[in-house]
Amino acid sequence: MSASLGVVCDYRIMAEDDEWRAIGERLRHTRLIAGMSQAELGRQVGLDRTMVAKIEAGTRRMGALELTQISGALGVPIGYLLEPLPEVLSRRGSAVDEDFDSEVARESGRLEIVLTTWLGDLRQLAGLGMLRPRPLLASGRPADSAASAREIALWVREVLGCQLNPIGSLVELCERAGQFVLVTEAPGDGASVIDGDIAAAVVSLSGDPGRRRATAAHELGHLVVGDEYSSDLGMHASRAEREEAIDAFAAELLLPSQVLTSNPGAGGISRGQLVELAARYRVSWSLALRQAAHVGVLDPDSQRAMARVRPTRSEFLDALGWSPQPDLESIRVPPGYAHAVLEALQRGAITPSRAVELMRGQASLADLPADDEADDEP
């Protein structure tokens, strides 16, 4: 063997070793999120605890069967263990590994698994040339206060052509801004990440429709003003201050202050007026109350009194003559993403079963286009 060939072989071996160490680290990270010990994971997949320890250390490699069994026991797709985490999630995950004995930390980890898996699906379709992300919408200026965050929200409305009108679908709006939102079963409210040219977000189904819209708007805020791990909100801003600014962005995006101040009565806004606005703009009652108090059309005593009695269905019907359809309920994936899945299926780039997985409950096998060649067979 020549010296140069030996160097190449050594490099490949080192690269493979690094890859297996990275896989082992992700396996350990996932096991801790699942609240499993090495012995418990080993029992589920038929391995001794020491074998699991060696896999996590990267000194023992896994075969395809073992990898399938381990990913199944941990409740994650195989791709999650094989693909590197986005850098921002890697940094955050390494910082909280030791705290995974906390249920709050484990829930955060499970949410990150959902988010990373969603990002992997987006990456697959983009790699096939079927998904064409739009340029990420960025304000280019810091949201260093709630007031500046509200200004940025109005800028987003103007750029996306919403002006002061109600926003129909938050999923569609976020996609136009370059962010792909998945609505799914997940712990917590939501999370988002920017990885290169793709922005991914997850909104949990656990909250009520108004809360889901607020979560989607919140995650869009992280995209537009810079994600929460950056310094875009100010080098000295605390996490609480940054979240407060993003919450202000979300509230202004969903229900602009000018809408509330355009036609209040002499004594401020009435309950009936606020119910109508909450219904038309599809926001939660609590968000509508906060916005009304923010612009000064609702005094603190009236806000507390109105908060004690939530609007009923009959109040919505009386205000508008219809009961608004909840957003982020039946629609689980963005329209452009759904089109990309169907295009990949029709071109034979993915199987029907994979298409159903990618649609995340939006469609079943029976909903997919029929195979024309199969229909032509006798």
DSSP 84: P
Which two three-digit tokens encode residue 162? 């919403």
- The answer, yes or no, to whether residue 66 has pLDDT greater than 50, is yes
How sure is the predictor about 279, in pLDDT bands with cuts at 50, 70 and 90? confident
Could you tell me how many residues make up the chain?
Answer: 378
CA-to-CA distance for 18 and 12, rounded, in angstroms?
10
Q: How far apart are CA 247 and CA 11, in angstroms?
A: 49
More confident residue, 343 or 97: 343
Q: What is the pLDDT of residue 301?
A: 93
For the stretch 306-316, pLDDT in tens is 999 888 877 77
Q: Mean pLDDT check: name the lowest of 23-27, 51-55, 92-96, 239-243.
A: 92-96
Q: What is the pLDDT of residues 345-371, one digit of tens each?
A: 999 999 999 999 999 888 888 878 766
DSSP letter assigned to residue 339: H
pTM score: 0.83
105-254+325-378, CATH topology level: Arc Repressor Mutant, subunit A (1.10.10)
Domain boundary assignment for the chain: 3-84, 105-254+325-378, 257-311
**CATH number of 3-84: 3.20.20.60, 3.30.70.240, 1.10.260.40, 1.10.580.10?**
1.10.260.40
Instruction: State the chain's mean pLDDT as an integer.
Output: 83
Per-residue pLDDT band at 325 (split at 50, 70, 90): low
Q: Which of 78-82, 241-245, 320-324 has the lowest mean pLDDT?
A: 320-324
Reply yes or no on whether the pLDDT at 70 is more than 90.
yes
The residue to which tokens 């909280």 are assigned: 96
- Which one has a higher pLDDT value, 12 or 31? 31
| CA angle (270 as vertex; 269, 271 as ends), nearest 5 | 125
**What angle (nearest 5°) sits at the alpha carbon of residue 108, between those of residues 107 and 110?**
60
